[in-house]
């Protein structure tokens, strides 16, 4: 995106969760995940690209044995509304028979995570767990409920901490909502 436009979007956006609030949520999630899965030797799968920051902050706080790999699934592709779920990196063969923990940045309508669960269970995953940094309060039922949720965000397009707005601002340490027109 044009950098001037990106700066303007950030200036006009509303701060939803500060960097310290997000970091605190990640620390709490690490404790909850450790209590639930610390003796399960899970395969942790990070959903590229939005989960990259969440994953990078969470993994060093998980001090138990685990394996790590990535999935690459995309539904928004730089837009603010979702389309079909497209797979760019498929689940690894080694998910078969494993306890799996999927990490994603946001649960919006839930279609992406529900499709991931279906594909992983179909590929022989023994137990499916999921953690999302942000759960959007869309006011409607969702097809999946994550086991671990960091923060709730309002029913607006949000960005920062891995989440993009028209491709920009994944690098912000806090979470913002796009200004409403
Ligand atoms: O709950 P849903 O409505 O399905 O939306 C959530 C998904 O949308 C985003 O991915 P996106 O398709 O934007 O790709 P990205 O991770 O590359 O940003 C996000 O990372 C989740 O995977
Ligand atoms: O609100 C959002 N922000 C960024 N990425 C997203 N993917 C689904 N919803 C969102």
Q: Say if 155 falls within a structural domain.
A: yes
Residue 172 lies in a domain: yes
Instruction: Give the residue, by CA position, lying nearest to ligand 2 atom 9.
Output: 108
Decide if 95 is inside a domain: yes
Give the pLDDT confidence score for residue 143 in this predicted structure: 97
pTM greater than 0.90 (yes/no): yes
pLDDT at 120: 96
Q: Which residues contact 76 (CB under 8 A, 6 or more apart)?
A: 82, 83
Residue 66 lies in a domain: yes
Q: What was the pLDDT predicted at 70?
A: 94
Task: In whole angstroms, give the CA distance from residue 161 to residue 153.
Answer: 13
User: How many Å apart are CA 60 and CA 79, to the nearest integer?
Assistant: 31
Which of the listed residues 16, 106, 174 should we mutate to test ligand 2's pocket, taking the one with most ligand atoms within 8 A of CB? 106
* Reported ipTM exceeds the 0.90 cut: yes
Provide the sign of the torsion angle of the four alpha carbons 34, 35, 39, 45, taken in this order.
negative
- pLDDT score recorded for residue 78: 75
Ligand 2 site, residue 169, Cβ cutoff 6 A? no
Contact 163, 170 (CB under 8 A): yes
What does the pLDDT read at residue 155?
97
Atom of ligand 1 nearest to the CA of 115: 4
**From the alpha carbon of 78, which atom of ligand 1 is closest?**
13
CATH number at residue 50: 3.40.50.2020
Domain that holds residue 102: 3-76+85-176
Q: 10-residue block means of pLDDT along the chain (181 residues)?
A: 94 98 98 98 96 98 96 85 86 92 97 96 96 98 98 98 96 96 74
Note the pLDDT of residue 157: 96
Residue 41 is assigned to a structural domain of this protein: yes
Q: 115 CB less than 6 Å from ligand 2?
A: no
Give the chain's end-to-end CA distance (angstroms, integer). 19
Give domain status of residue 23, yes or no: yes
């Amino acid at each position: 995106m044009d950098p001037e436009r990106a700066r303007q979007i950030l200036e006009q956006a509303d701060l939803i969760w500060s960097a310290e609030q997000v970091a605190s949520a990640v620390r709490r999630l690490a404790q909850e995940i450790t209590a639930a899965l610390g003796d399960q030797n899970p395969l942790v799968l990070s959903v590229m690209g939005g989960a990259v920051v969440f994953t990078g902050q969470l993994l060093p706080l998980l001090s138990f044995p685990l394996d790590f790999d990535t999935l690459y699934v995309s539904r928004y592709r730089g837009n603010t509304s979702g389309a079909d779920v497209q797979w760019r990196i498929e689940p690894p063969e080694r998910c078969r028979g494993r306890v799996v923990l999927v990490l994603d940045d946001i649960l919006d309508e839930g279609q992406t995570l529900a499709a991931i669960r279906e594909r992983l269970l179909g590929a022989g995953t023994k137990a499916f767990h999921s953690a999302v940094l942000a759960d959007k309060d869309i006011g409607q039922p969702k097809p999946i409920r994550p086991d671990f949720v960091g923060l709730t965000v309002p029913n607006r397009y949000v960005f920062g901490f891995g989440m993009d707005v028209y491709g920009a601002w994944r690098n912000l340490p806090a979470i913002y909502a796009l200004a409403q027109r």
